[in-house]
Amino acid sequence: MSQIQEKALSRPRNWVRLALFVACGLVVLVGLNIGYQALSTLNQLDIIEAERDHWQHSSEVIQALNLKPYETVVDLGCGSGSFSLKLAEPVGPNGRVIAEDIRRLSLSLFYG
């Protein structure tokens, strides 16, 4: 086989390799973008949570409830459950926090 024929046969393999390389690069870029967006969202949630604690006074509310270990507490209209999670600490591992909300989407985002 001549060199010209060998080069002609190797060209399609090079295009396939190049296409695979570009596809892998795109997958990596998309993955990095998704990761960046997830971290950005978590940072925004931290800011929102800090602001909520400021106007909601959650620690004062929980203190006023005077919850004891083993007790059960209900959070009606719990939304995403951020307050419910704070209620879990004073009732301890043997207590119960019942979190209910009319909107299933809020709960499904955090609890599947």
The reply to whether 42 and 82 lie within a common domain is no
Helix (H) or strand (E) holding 75: strand 72-76
pTM of the model: 0.53
The reply to whether 97 and 70 lie within a common domain is yes
Q: At 43, which amino acid appears? A: N
Pick 28 or 77 by higher pLDDT.
28
CB burial of 39-49 (b: ≥16 within 10 Å; e: otherwise) equals eeeeeeeeeee
Pick 104 or 106 by higher pLDDT.
104
* pLDDT at position 105 over 80: no
The reply to whether 1 and 26 lie within a common domain is yes
The reply to whether 51 and 81 lie within a common domain is no
Per the structure, the count of domains in the chain is 2
Q: Which of 97, 84, 82 is nearest to 46 (CA)?
A: 82
Give dist(CA 112, CA 80) in Å, integer: 11
The reply to whether 84 and 50 lie within a common domain is no
* pLDDT at position 35 over 80: yes
- Domain limits for position 30: 1-56
Of the three residues 56, 81, 96, the one that is the final residue of a domain is: 56
